[in-house]
Amino acid sequence: MPPAAAGDAHHEFTVDNDGAPRLDLLVAQRLGLSRSQAATLIAEGRVHVGGRKERASFRAPRGAQVSVDVPPPPGRDVIAEQIPVSVVFEDEHLIVVDKAAGMVVHPAPGNWTGTLVNALKGRGQGLAEGSAEERQGLVHRLDKDTSGLMVVAKTDQALRVLSKAIAERLVTRRYAALCWGHLADERVTVEQPIGRDPNDRIRMAVLATGRPSRTDFVRLARFGATELLRCHLHSGRTHQIRVHLASIGHPVVGDDIYGGGGARKVVGLPPQRHFLHAALLVFTHPASGERLEFRSPLPAELRHSLETVAELPDLIASPNPLEYFDFYRADR
């Protein structure tokens, strides 16, 4: 069942445990909504428990069948906004940006403005149409609190070619991550299917019914309580790196959703930030056939965190800590 926020839908689920939270919280958790959104649906009579309307404070018993009808979102035009965005490459076919942490990629309920798509439209440029106006030009995405490189298509042809290359694993996307604990080996591959967590619609999880997913991890450096990893995506599931690392007991440092959010002061990491950065992007230009490679150094807050855990004078003096740890070496 997709998250309710995706649009008009009828959802049903069964309460599978005793002591379920009040109805507004229960609906919010199961459908990936805010509590206020769930309360509004209940007040509008769009939520039924065993065929009956109930109050937001009602606690459904084990085995109760809950149904929710979510109306389609109102039609919205994507607003062009003057928002700074770091552009590392641009021509008439595509644009490569270095997205800052904290920026949502495209408009959606709760984030209709301030997104990367709003910012790109604010630059006065055309974007490929894509599947919907709010996702114009998007070939792939990054989580809100993940920084780094993204390619966005300006033309429909570029979007088709690049999307096909992503699907055929012809685009190299490598991320730098700091994880808690120490991997069993220098190289670890996690190949586990990922789907939406049936108990919390905001999270993803390793599920037998999920979509096939593979991530390769290479240890670049080992510190006291953490390790610096290079992560290579072979698929592009939502939260993939974060879910795969959490599934083997080594969540991303600073990841509040998947268990890595504690001890921020120990690693010098600010609030609302996890240590995950899209540092390398390599693909073939959809029109010229030229091989393009882009590198993004660690943002200042992640560099500070890495210097904190590494305690290496040479690292502090290095122009790019990722080069110091051989992140870009293909044979590493």
What residues are labeled active site?
A: 143
Contact 191, 233 (CB under 8 A): no
The DSSP secondary structure of 141-183, one letter per residue, reads ---TT-EEEEEEESSHHHHHHHHHHHHTT-SEEEEEEEEES--
Q: In degrees, to the nearest 5, what angle opens at C-alpha 77 toward C-alphas 72 and 81?
A: 135
Q: Report the distance separating Cα 107 and Cα 140, nearest Å.
A: 15
Give the helix ranges, DSSP H, for 236-291.
Answer: 240-247, 264-267
User: b vs e for 195-224, b when ≥16 Cβ sit within 10 Å of the residue's Cβ?
Assistant: bbbeeebbbbbbeeebeebbbbbbbbbebe
Q: Report the distance separating Cα 254 and Cα 271, nearest Å.
A: 8
Contact 83, 28 (CB under 8 A): no
Going from the C-alpha of 252 to that of each of 13, 56, 145, 203, 240, the distances in angstroms are 31, 35, 12, 15, 11
Q: Report the distance separating Cα 132 and Cα 121, nearest Å.
A: 14
Q: Which helix (H) or strand (E) holds 231?
A: strand 226-233
Residue among 128, 87, 91, 89 at smallest CA distance from 287: 91
Q: Report the distance separating Cα 284 and Cα 281, nearest Å.
A: 10
Side-chain-side CA neighbours of 117 within 13 Å: the count stands at 27
